[in-house]
């Protein structure tokens, strides 16, 4: 509409008043350095916040807040906007009182159970790696049909950070774990829920699983597990146990509440899949996306995110006609193992209706499925692991909305 594009046009024949008269910030002295010893975003960014989806959970302590993907750039999620999922609320734990214990379900599985302080853990060989974390229930609201309006609510249980920590394998080695017998790891948190999940020893042995204390250059945020969380690259977020206080090696999986009652995927035949962990390749266009309105016809950079729990993203294709024809998008590098990958593609909107989709392919050759393909196997009540191709419909007014293409 004309009202929306007014600021784009010159306001008088002479030119734009914002140019002809110098603005206040160009004609005055600003604020000193360290005015904010720890900085915050601009006051004009206050609309991008993590938000709950009304009606999703009954209590805030066992709920989700979604990251505002519709306004984020690149692959690093600002830590202040990292999605949250707690089961018994979050605490700001005193690191000087926090301990990490490593023990065995049986004494025969390791040489000695040990206790580590933060002082000690932070002396060990550290690694820093960029990884995505996605809740297994991300996009879960949409298994049956379109349910929520924006990418914040469809895909916002997704974040990506640079994590720093100690590969868990070093700790298990230090305790003399018998890897032949101990094929499972129980990770336990220090919050009220003492969240527990079984982690496959294969992933620990690969060196990828980390006991992390750093996130995006600083310590983990309290909401994300300060001072320690497990990082299990490629695996759903619930396994990335926050406020990590104990690691037990065992010879059987543990069937904890969040792998025996939740985070189990209901199939059409009434069976539930247990220990479903890996997040398969997925992608979503974030700009433009549901609940947004394009200001004008013409050129647009269409931008989105792709990721895979099985490794690197190899290719992302974008369709503007609901999946009939596809074009390969540019990937912003470097493309990393089990990390978000930002893709961009040029587009000129001619003002006619369009349906935008993105389709990720990972290094195993796996291609993100359509809703039709996925529902054929998994039905519509799976709750978890919905990685179907997302569609955004654009109508003449420029309004973008959430639709599902089969």
Partner 1 sequence: FDNFKGVGRPATPAEVKAWDIDVRPDFKGLPKGSGSVDQGQELFEAKCASCHGTFGESNEVFTPLVGGTTKDDMKTGRVKGLSSGELPQRTTFTKVATISTVFDYIQRAMPWTAPKSLKPDEVYAILAYMLNLSEMVPADFVLSDKNIAEVQKLLPNRNGMTTDHGMWPGAPAKKGGIGNGGVPDTANKACMKNCKQEVQIGSTLPEYARTAHGELAEQNRSFGPVRGTRTLGPEAA
Q: Look at the alpha carbons of 290, 293, 298, 302 in this order and tell me if their dihedral is positive or negative.
A: negative
- Specify the stretch interacting with a second copy by CB under 8 A; choose among 160-168, 315-323, 372-380, 390-398: 160-168
DSSP 44-76: GGTT---BPPTTS-SSGGG-EEB--GGG--SSP
| Interface pick for partner 1 out of 95, 181, 312, 337 (rule CB under 8 A) | 95
- Contact between 145 and a second copy by CB under 8 A: the answer reads no
In what helix (H) or strand (E) does residue 151 lie, and over which residues does it extend? helix 151-155
Site track for Ca ion across 281-310, x = CB under 5 A: ---------------x--------------
Q: Which of 399, 398, 396, 377 is nearest to 388 (CA)?
A: 377
Q: In the bound complex, what is the minimum distance in angstroms from residue 132's beta carbon to a second copy?
A: 12
- Is residue 81 left, alpha or beta, with left meaning phi > 0 and alpha meaning psi from -120 to 50? alpha
Distance CA 51, CA 255 (A): 31
- Contact between 134 and partner 1 by CB under 8 A: the answer reads no
| Interface pick for ligand HEC out of 164, 193, 198, 382 (rule CB under 6 A) | 193
Q: In the bound complex, what is the minimum distance in angstroms from residue 35's beta carbon to partner 1?
A: 16
Question: How is residue 15 written in tokens?
Answer: 């030119």
Considering only CA atoms, give the Rg of the chain. 23
Give how far Cα 16 sits from Cα of 8, 9, 44, 159, 384, Å: 9, 8, 21, 40, 52
Residues 6+ positions from 49 with CB-CB distance below 8 Å = 68, 81
What number of CA atoms fall less than 13 Å from residue 345's CA on the CB side? 22
Give whichever of 55 and 125 is closer to a second copy, judged by the CB atom.
125
| Interface pick for partner 1 out of 29, 33, 34, 40 (rule CB under 8 A) | 29
- Contact between 308 and partner 1 by CB under 8 A: the answer reads no
- Contact between 257 and Co ion by CB under 5 A: the answer reads no
* Cα pseudo-dihedral 283, 225, 250, 117, rounded to 10: 140
Distance CA 345, CA 323 (A): 16
Q: In the bound complex, what is the minimum distance in angstroms from residue 157's beta carbon to partner 1?
A: 15
| Interface pick for a second copy out of 33, 55, 145, 269 (rule CB under 8 A) | 33
Residues 6+ positions from 8 with CB-CB distance below 8 Å = 295, 296
Question: How is residue 187 written in tokens?
Answer: 């990770």
- Specify the stretch interacting with ligand HEC by CB under 6 A; choose among 65-73, 128-136, 236-244, 255-263: 255-263
- Contact between 181 and partner 1 by CB under 8 A: the answer reads no
Q: In the bound complex, what is the minimum distance in angstroms from residue 238's beta carbon to Ca ion?
A: 4
Q: In the bound complex, what is the minimum distance in angstroms from residue 387's beta carbon to Ca ion?
A: 15
Residues 6+ positions from 406 with CB-CB distance below 8 Å = 370, 371, 372
Cis ω before 334 (30° cut-off from 0): yes
Q: In the bound complex, what is the minimum distance in angstroms from residue 106's beta carbon to ligand HEC?
A: 27
User: How many residues sit close enough to a second copy to count as binding (CB under 8 A)?
Assistant: 114
Q: In the bound complex, what is the minimum distance in angstroms from residue 178's beta carbon to ligand HEC?
A: 33
Q: In the bound complex, what is the minimum distance in angstroms from residue 59's beta carbon to a second copy?
A: 7
Give whichever of 105 and 404 is closer to Ca ion, judged by the CB atom.
105
Q: Which does 56 bind (CB under 5 to 8 A by kind): a second copy, ligand HEC, partner 1, none?
A: none
Q: Tokens 């406020």 sit at which residue?
A: 243
Binding to a second copy, residues 366-405 (CB under 8 A): none
Site track for partner 1 across 54-93, x = CB under 8 A: xx--xx-xx-----x-xx---------------xx-----
- Contact between 99 and Co ion by CB under 5 A: the answer reads no
Residues 6+ positions from 193 with CB-CB distance below 8 Å = 87, 88
- Contact between 91 and Co ion by CB under 5 A: the answer reads no
Instruction: Answer whether 343's CB lies under 8 Å from 305's CB.
Output: yes
Site track for ligand HEC across 51-70, x = CB under 6 A: --------x--x--------
Binding to partner 1, residues 100-119 (CB under 8 A): 101-103, 105-106, 112-119
- Specify the stretch interacting with a second copy by CB under 8 A; choose among 142-150, 222-230, 261-269, 359-367: 222-230
Q: Which of 200, 206, 195 is nearest to 184 (CA)?
A: 200
In what helix (H) or strand (E) does residue 155 lie, and over which residues does it extend? helix 151-155
Distance CA 383, CA 263 (A): 8
- Positions in the binding site for ligand HEC (CB under 6 A): 59, 62, 87, 193, 257, 261-262
- Positions in the binding site for Co ion (CB under 5 A): 262
């Amino acid at each position: 509409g004309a009202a929306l594009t007014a600021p784009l046009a010159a306001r008088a024949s002479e030119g734009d008043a914002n140019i002809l008269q110098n603005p206040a910030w160009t004609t005055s002295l600003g604020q000193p350095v360290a005015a904010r010893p720890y900085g915050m975003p601009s006051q004009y960014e206050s609309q991008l916040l993590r938000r709950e989806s009304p009606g999703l959970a009954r209590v805030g302590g066992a709920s989700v807040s979604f990251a505002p993907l519709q306004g984020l750039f690149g692959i690093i999620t600002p830590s202040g906007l990292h999605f949250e999922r707690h089961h018994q609320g979050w605490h700001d734990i005193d690191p000087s009182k926090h301990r990490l214990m490593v023990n065995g379900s049986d004494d025969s599985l390791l040489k000695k159970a040990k206790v580590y302080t933060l002082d000690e853990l932070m002396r060990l060989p550290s690694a820093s790696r960029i990884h995505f974390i996605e809740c297994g229930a991300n996009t879960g609201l949409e298994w049956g049909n379109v349910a929520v309006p924006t990418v914040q609510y469809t895909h916002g249980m997704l974040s990506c950070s640079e994590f720093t920590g100690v590969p868990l394998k070093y700790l298990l080695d230090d305790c003399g774990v018998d890897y032949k017998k101990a094929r499972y790891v129980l990770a336990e948190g220090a919050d009220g829920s003492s969240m527990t999940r079984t982690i496959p020893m294969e992933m620990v042995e690969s060196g990828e699983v980390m006991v992390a204390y750093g996130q995006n250059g600083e310590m983990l945020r309290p909401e994300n597990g300060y001072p320690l969380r497990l990082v299990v690259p490629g695996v759903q977020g619930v396994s990335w146990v926050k406020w990590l206080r104990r690691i037990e090696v065992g010879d059987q999986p543990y069937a904890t509440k969040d792998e025996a009652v939740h985070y189990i995927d209901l199939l059409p035949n009434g069976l539930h899949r247990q220990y479903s962990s890996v997040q398969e390749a997925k992608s979503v266009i974030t700009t433009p996306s549901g609940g947004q309105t394009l200001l004008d016809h013409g050129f647009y950079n269409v931008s989105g995110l792709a990721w895979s729990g099985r490794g690197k993203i190899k290719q992302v294709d974008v369709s503007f006609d609901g999946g009939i024809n596809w074009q390969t998008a540019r990937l912003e590098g470097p493309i990393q193992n089990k990390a978000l990958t930002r893709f961009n593609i040029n587009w000129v909107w001619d003002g006619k209706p369009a349906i935008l989709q993105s389709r990720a392919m990972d290094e195993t050759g796996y291609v993100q499925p359509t809703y039709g393909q996925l529902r054929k196997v998994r039905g519509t009540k799976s709750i978890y692991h919905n990685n179907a191709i997302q569609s955004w419909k654009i109508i003449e007014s420029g309004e973008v909305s959430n639709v599902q293409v089969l």
